[in-house]
């Protein structure tokens, strides 16, 4: 326990990096994922084909390989990014298709009657999507989007294997330095992750229940 308290500043520093990765990649992945989802449902076939290829490619590549690419292959191609930014790019790329899929399943979850009603009232594609479909889909996608963010929180740990000092690398470093308190240190790190993931999970479950009642 002492080992944990003594190293608290180190834990906080690592936790800060984890949060930085989470917030930044989360935000960028939401933006890219929305664009991809919009392309996927768009009437232009080449756009939707591009979006589905992008989604399938990234979803079926292990995160480790994506981060490996960003950390080791990109420098070979001439990038001079520090490892933190490489990890940020990798996590954003990897998370964006999951965001796109969550959004798309939300859009498909809106009853068809809604779209038909909007169309029969004479609304166009843009009008029926922005005024009728999206406002309803948005509420339905919040729980799955939160689940994507929970997964992202856990995925930031993989960046620890690629020279980023975040919670996982802190766990490794401090466990090596304090051989007699390995369990305490690893549990402390787990607690830091749980502080983020469990509240998010509760919010998601709560929202899901609330929306289920309304429908």
Partner 1 sequence: MSASVLFDTPGPRTRRRSRIASVIVVLLIAAGLGWIIYTLAQPRDSSGITLPGYFDWSRWDIFVLAELWVRVGEGLLATLQAAAVAAAMALVVGVLFAMLRTSTFAVVRIPATIVLEFFRGMPVLLMMLFILLVASTGAFWAVVLALGVYNGAIIGESLRAGLAALPRGQREAGLSLGLTQFQSKVFIEFPQAFRQMLPVIIAQLVVLLKDTSLGYIVGYNELIRTTMNNLGSSVGNRYLFSLFLVTLVIYLAVNLSLSAVARRLARRRSPGKLLPKDQITPTASISSIAMPNGNPEDRTTE
Nearest to 145 by CA among 84, 211, 54: 211
> Applying CB under 8 A, which part among 5-13, 23-31, 73-81, 82-90 lies near partner 1?
73-81
Residue of 8, 12, 27, 73 that binds partner 1 (CB under 8 A)? 73
Give the ranges where the chain is alpha helix by DSSP (H): 2-6, 8-41, 45-59, 63-68, 74-76, 83-109, 112-120, 125-127, 134-159, 167-177, 182-214
CB atoms inside a 10 Å sphere around CB 134: 17
Judged by CB under 8 A, the chain residues 2 through 21 that form the site for partner 1 are none
Contact 114, 136 (CB under 8 A): yes
198 lines the binding site for partner 1 (CB under 8 A)? yes
Q: Is the dihedral of CA 175, 84, 9, 156 positive or negative?
A: negative
Residue of 145, 158, 174, 188 that binds partner 1 (CB under 8 A)? 158
136 lines the binding site for partner 1 (CB under 8 A)? no
Judged by CB under 8 A, the chain residues 35 through 64 that form the site for partner 1 are 40-41, 43-48, 50, 52, 56-57, 59-64
CB atoms inside a 10 Å sphere around CB 101: 18
Q: How far is the CB of 135 from partner 1 (least distance, A)?
A: 14
Binding mask 80-109 for partner 1 (x = CB under 8 A): --------------x---x--xx-xx-xxx
Q: How far is the CB of 46 from partner 1 (least distance, A)?
A: 4
Q: How far is the CB of 196 from partner 1 (least distance, A)?
A: 8
Query: What residues contact residue 192 under an 8 Å CB cut-off, 6+ apart?
Result: 11, 14, 15, 18, 167
> Applying CB under 8 A, which part among 1-9, 21-29, 80-88, 191-199 lies near partner 1?
191-199
CB nearer partner 1, residue 73 or residue 211: 73
Contact 64, 161 (CB under 8 A): yes
Q: How many Å from the N-terminal Cα to the C-terminal Cα in the chain? A: 49
213 lines the binding site for partner 1 (CB under 8 A)? no
Binding mask 161-180 for partner 1 (x = CB under 8 A): x-----xx--xx--x-----
């Amino acid at each position: 326990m002492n080992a944990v308290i003594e190293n608290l500043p180190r834990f906080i520093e690592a936790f800060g990096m984890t949060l930085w990765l989470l917030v930044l990649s989360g935000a960028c992945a939401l933006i890219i994922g929305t664009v991809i989802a919009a392309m996927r449902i768009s009437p232009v076939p080449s756009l939707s084909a591009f979006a589905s290829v992008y989604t399938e490619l990234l979803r079926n590549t292990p995160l480790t390989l994506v981060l490996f690419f960003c950390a080791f292959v990109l420098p070979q191609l001439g990038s001079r990014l520090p490892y933190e930014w490489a990890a940020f790019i990798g996590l954003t790329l990897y998370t964006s298709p999951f965001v796109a899929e969550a959004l798309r399943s939300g859009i498909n979850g809106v009853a068809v009657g809604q779209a038909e009603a909007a169309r029969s009232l004479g609304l166009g594609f843009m009008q029926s999507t922005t005024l009728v479909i999206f406002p309803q889909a948005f509420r339905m996608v919040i729980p799955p989007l939160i689940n994507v963010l929970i997964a992202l929180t856990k995925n930031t740990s993989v960046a620890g294997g690629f020279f980023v000092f975040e919670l996982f690398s802190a766990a490794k470093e401090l466990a090596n330095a304090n051989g007699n308190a390995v369990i305490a240190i690893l549990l402390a790190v787990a607690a830091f992750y749980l502080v983020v993931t469990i509240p998010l999970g509760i919010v998601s479950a709560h929202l899901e229940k609330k929306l289920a009642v309304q429908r």
